[in-house]
Amino acid sequence: MIPPGSIPPAPIVPAPIGDVAVARRVSALSVAAPYALPTRGFRSSVIRLVSGAPAPEALPLDDFGRTAAELFADAGTGAAALAYGPHAGQPALRDWIAGREGVDLSSVLVTNGALHGVALAFGALLEQGDVVVLDDPVFPDTVRIAEQYGARVLPVRVGPEGIDVQRIEDHLLAGVRIRIVYTVADFHNPSGGVLPAKERARLVELAEQYGFVIVSDNPYRDTTFDGSYVEDFATGSPRVIKVGTFTKTLGAGLRLGWVIAPVGLLGHLENLRRRTDFHSSTLSQELILPLLNQPGWFDNLLVHNRSVHRAKAEVFVDALRAELIGDLQFTAPAGGFFVWARLADHAPAASDVVTAAAERDLLLTSGRHFAPDGGSQWDRHLRFAFSAPTLSELPVAVGRLRAALDACR
């Protein structure tokens, strides 16, 4: 039942080891190709539609500046912000996250971002050869984590309505023993899809019936353009691990996220994480805590972020429709940072378009990066990240894309 050639996805480049003999479990690891073609040096004319990072103008830079100054104006709080902290995170931050997620503080672990949370969950649960269902297309770094633990990857299609839960059930009925179902339920990276509440509830039922664990990696939940939220996986279920992050709201460089896990499992995750980093940055945690604790501060920030990203999505989508109608098929996103588009059958190949675009100072990501099994199913797709460029750069980017496509014909 498991499709052949599960791991790793293309393209792979050999791991550089040099003269030092590293452990085989390390030298055997694949190395992900970069999301974009490298550019020679820094050129300000380059427009990068490649990074899933929030718009710089969406970040609360002034608030951070003030908080940092206050933190270090006092020797006590300054030194405390540079001290060791508890492995599971600052209790006040765990408490804030717990309040927002509607869970008890004891089921919250502060992590170094969502990727760390996924790595801890996979590390705690997977034995060699276990079957992990991954989104198809998938956030590629997750494939590397599954590979690290010797898991067998079972790709399941993700569409505008998220992962195909019926397909997962078909696999279970056919006798496949699944250990983890990993999915990005809100504003999926790269495809933008959202899993309806009914399907989330059904997946939890299946998890409880068949004994697998849902690892819900959800960095984009708060990036909803209209402010609406789909009812999420029930946190009360012992079969649900939720992974969240401040990367998409407060900035990736803070390296702060969280895991919500059943209490019995949380201790194991904490035990695992302390072997590599003790705890997440005390400084990052202390920097955001006074802001999060101001009533309404985070919700107001989300409203601001939403309007910034929604405006960029509209400008970008309008420009794509005006310039490339007929060449590209896509659904306008309702949140998140991406447009996932298929090149029409008569249009050039995505890899040629990526190269021609780079020659015109436009960086794009080819869909092939997002195949969990290294297959060619997304070879005609492109992922455009519209959040980071300025509003005025977005139509320019689309003009360069048009020129790139024309040059490939």
Ligand X SMILES: Cc1ncc(COP(=O)(O)O)c(C=O)c1O
The strand pairing partners of 385, in sequence order, are 338
- Among 147, 217, 270, 286, indicate the residue that binds ligand X (CB under 6 A): 217
108's enclosing H/E stretch is strand 108-111
- Residues from 235 through 264 that contact ligand X (CB under 6 A): 245, 247, 252, 257
Shortest reach from residue 110's CB to ligand X, in Å: 12
Nearer to ligand X, 249 or 319 (CB): 249
Shortest reach from residue 244's CB to ligand X, in Å: 8
Shortest reach from residue 39's CB to ligand X, in Å: 20
Question: Can you list the alpha helix ranges (DSSP code H) found in 33-74?
Answer: 61-73
Write out the two tokens for 177.
């023993």
Task: Judge contact between 53 and 239, C-beta under 8 A.
Answer: no
Question: How many residues in the shown chain lie near ligand X by CB under 6 A?
Answer: 13
What is d(CA 193, CA 212) in angstroms, rounded to the nearest whole number? 23
- Report CA torsion sign: 184, 187, 192, 197: positive
The closest residue (CB) to ligand X is: 113
Q: Is 186 in the site for ligand X (CB under 6 A)?
A: no
Whether the link from the prior residue into 8 is cis, omega within 30° of 0, is yes
Binding mask 107-126 for ligand X (x = CB under 6 A): ------xxx-----------
- Residues from 290 through 319 that contact ligand X (CB under 6 A): none
Angle in degrees, CA 378, 11, 16, rounded to 5:
160
Shortest reach from residue 204's CB to ligand X, in Å: 20
Nearer to ligand X, 32 or 176 (CB): 32
**By three-state DSSP, how is residue 32 classified?**
strand
Q: Is 387 in the site for ligand X (CB under 6 A)?
A: no
Q: Is 139 in the site for ligand X (CB under 6 A)?
A: yes
Binding mask 24-63 for ligand X (x = CB under 6 A): ----------------------------x-----------
181's enclosing H/E stretch is strand 178-183
What is d(CA 375, CA 285) in angstroms, rounded to the nearest whole number? 40
Q: Which residues bind ligand X (CB under 6 A)?
A: 52, 113-115, 139, 184, 189, 217, 219, 245, 247, 252, 257
